């Protein structure tokens, strides 16, 4: 199959592909998504095939208007309505009880459905143009970092899907916050740009699934979002995170990097705008500024992809505070590092 990489003005044709049961990759404010008609089981099945994704890992249904919630969900709690009003359109996915009509192929056989209204105007325009609700996971090959540019999608999906809509680099760079609203207490299943504190300011107490908030490999807890149990976001080289006092972290990374270089390995270092000048070896990249955690989130996945392009064997990275957005950043980085974290 030939994959067309087109600008957002090709929306009409994109909508036709979705209606015909085909796949279109499109930008959202978080990461690029790989979309199909959510109510068409065969279309959803194509997503799993293109990504090489395990079929028990459910998809997020993307909507463009508030009324579409009731197409896919029922018994929607008042508290869920409140956070949808507060944070939609935006980087928040809400788990709700699913309507019978949503195929198992979309929800991986679950009785619940994940729903999100993206704020990216191109994403919403595509949903409206298609006159469908769109099931979309991140548009990467399963196990690779999520795509934040159309070029990343092309790397993974070329020849596998008919069309990629290029809306330029995404704004946020990490996937939406997922919150389960079907239990007693709202539960964050995946941390993201919308933080626990932001949710709590609207609906009171919210918990974080212990499987996604720890700094060590969750052994005795099973992640409640099926997708969070798979190895994710991982570069091919070995990623090692170092945390502690800034000066000690820099010294430790320099020491370890030099050691590996002397052994003949290709070594990369991920620092920040504030620290990058103090590293003295390896291929060095700044992931952004500590003053602006948004910039760190925005660059994270493209840097992890670049580690593969550069065929690095070892990558040493600084780690990030775990408050607010830092919690979401560290969740992704720890997974990418297989929880390899050194404290100095
Ligand atoms: O920002 C995002 O959410 C992006 C863009 C494209 O919207 N999408 C995304 O989709 O990250 P994906 O498939 O890569 O991640 C969806 C996550 C998976 O971990 C999946 O297991 C979880 O959502 N999920 C989906 N439906 C669920 C459900 N009913 N219950 C619990 N977790 C669910
Ligand atoms: Mg994904």
Q: What average pLDDT does this structure show over 281-293?
A: 96
User: pLDDT averaged over the chain?
Assistant: 95
Domains within the chain, CATH numbers bracketed: 4-213 (3.90.870.10), 238-343 (3.40.50.11030)
Contact 308, 235 (CB under 8 A): yes
pLDDT at 28 over 70: yes
State the pLDDT confidence band at 273, using cuts at 50, 70 and 90.
very high
pLDDT at 240 over 70: yes
pLDDT at 308 over 80: yes
Amino acid 56: pLDDT? 84
Structure tokens at 56: 């028990």
Amino acid 7: pLDDT? 97
**CA dist., res. 341 & res. 194, Å (int):** 25
Structure tokens at 300: 């994270």
56-84 residue pLDDT tens: 899 999 999 999 999 999 999 999 999 99
Candidate of 56, 76, 110, 137 to mutate for ligand 1, largest count of ligand atoms within 8 Å of Cβ = 137
Amino acid 131: pLDDT? 98
> Which residues lie closer than 8 Å to 184 by C-beta, 6 or more apart?
none
- Which residue has the least CA distance to atom 17 on ligand 1? 227
Is any atom of ligand 1 closer than 6 Å to the C-beta of 57? yes
128 assigned binding-site residue = no
Closest atom, ligand 1, to C-alpha of 57: 21
Is any atom of ligand 1 closer than 6 Å to the C-beta of 226? yes
Helix (H) or strand (E) holding 36: strand 33-37
pLDDT at 232 over 80: no
Amino acid 229: pLDDT? 67
34-59 residue pLDDT tens: 999 999 999 999 999 999 988 889 99
Based on its alpha-carbon atoms, the radius of gyration of the chain, rounded to whole angstroms, reads: 20
138 assigned binding-site residue = yes
Is any atom of ligand 1 closer than 6 Å to the C-beta of 178? yes
Is any atom of ligand 1 closer than 6 Å to the C-beta of 281? no
Q: Which residue matches tokens 């008042």?
A: 78
Q: Give the angle subtended at the CA of 86 by the CAs of 320 and 211, to the nearest 5°.
A: 40
State the pLDDT confidence band at 226, using cuts at 50, 70 and 90.
confident
The residues facing 316 across adjacent strands are 240, 269
Task: Name which of 92, 89, 94, 104 is nearest 39 in CA terms.
Answer: 104
Task: Name which of 290, 88, 292 is nearest 199 in CA terms.
Answer: 88
State the pLDDT confidence band at 116, using cuts at 50, 70 and 90.
very high
Point out the least confidently predicted range of 71-75, 165-169, 231-235, 287-291.
231-235
Closest atom, ligand 1, to C-alpha of 190: 19
The number of the ligand nearest the C-alpha atom of 92 reads: 1
Return the biggest CA–CA distance within the chain: 62
157-180 residue pLDDT tens: 999 999 999 999 999 999 999 999
pLDDT at 219 over 80: no
Closest atom, ligand 1, to C-alpha of 112: 29
**CA dist., res. 162 & res. 4, Å (int):** 6
**CA dist., res. 302 & res. 300, Å (int):** 6
**CA dist., res. 149 & res. 168, Å (int):** 6
Amino acid 98: pLDDT? 98
Task: Name which of 14, 4, 271 is nearest 123 in CA terms.
Answer: 14
**CA dist., res. 115 & res. 59, Å (int):** 9
Amino acid 218: pLDDT? 74
Find the 59 Cα to ligand 1 centroid distance in Å.
Answer: 5
Closest atom, ligand 1, to C-alpha of 228: 19
State the pLDDT confidence band at 233, using cuts at 50, 70 and 90.
confident
Q: What average pLDDT does this structure show over 133-162?
A: 96
Is any atom of ligand 1 closer than 6 Å to the C-beta of 293? no
Which burial class, exposed, middle or buried, applies to 157 when counting CB atoms under 10 A from its CB (0-12, 13-18, 19+)?
buried
Amino acid 231: pLDDT? 61
Candidate of 27, 60, 62 to mutate for ligand 1, largest count of ligand atoms within 8 Å of Cβ = 60
Q: What average pLDDT does this structure show over 127-156?
A: 96
Contact 138, 126 (CB under 8 A): no
pLDDT at 85 over 80: yes
């Amino acid at each position: 199959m030939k994959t067309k990489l087109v600008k957002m003005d090709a929306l009409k044709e994109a909508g036709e592909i979705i209606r015909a049961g085909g796949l279109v990759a499109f930008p959202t404010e978080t990461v690029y998504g790989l979309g199909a008609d959510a109510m068409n089981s065969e279309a959803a099945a194509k997503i799993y095939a293109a990504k090489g994704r395990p079929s028990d890992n459910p998809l997020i249904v993307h909507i463009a208007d508030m009324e579409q919630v009731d197409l896919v969900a029922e018994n929607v709690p008042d508290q869920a309505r409140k956070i949808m009003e507060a944070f939609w359109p935006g980087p928040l996915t809400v788990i709700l009880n699913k309507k019978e009509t949503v195929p198992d192929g979309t929800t991986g056989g679950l009785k619940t459905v994940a729903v999100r209204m993206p704020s990216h105007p191109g994403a919403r325009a595509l949903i409206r143009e298609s006159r469908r609700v769109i099931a979309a996971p991140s548009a990467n090959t399963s196990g690779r970092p999520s795509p934040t540019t159309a070029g990343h999608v092309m790397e993974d999906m070329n020849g596998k899907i008919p069309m990629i809509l290029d809306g330029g680099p995404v704004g946020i760079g990490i996937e939406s916050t997922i919150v389960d609203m079907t239990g007693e207490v709202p539960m964050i299943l995946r941390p993201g740009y919308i933080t626990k504190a932001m949710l709590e300011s609207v609906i009171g107490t919210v918990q974080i699934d212990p499987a996604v908030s720890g700094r060590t490999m969750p052994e005795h807890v099973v992640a409640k979002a099926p997708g969070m149990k798979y190895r994710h976001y991982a570069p091919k080289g070995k990623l090692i995170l170092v945390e502690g006092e800034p000066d000690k972290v820099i010294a430790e990374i320099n020491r370890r990097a030099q050691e590996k270089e002397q052994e003949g390995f290709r070594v990369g270092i991920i620092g920040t705008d504030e620290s990058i000048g103090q590293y003295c070896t390896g291929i060095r990249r700044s992931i952004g500024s500590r003053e602006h955690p948004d910039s760190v989130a925005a660059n994270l996945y493209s840097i992890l992809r670049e580690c593969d392009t550069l065929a690095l064997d070892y990558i040493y990275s600084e780690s990030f505070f775990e408050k607010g957005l830092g919690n979401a950043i560290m969740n992704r980085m720890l997974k990418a590092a297989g929880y390899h974290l050194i404290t100095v």
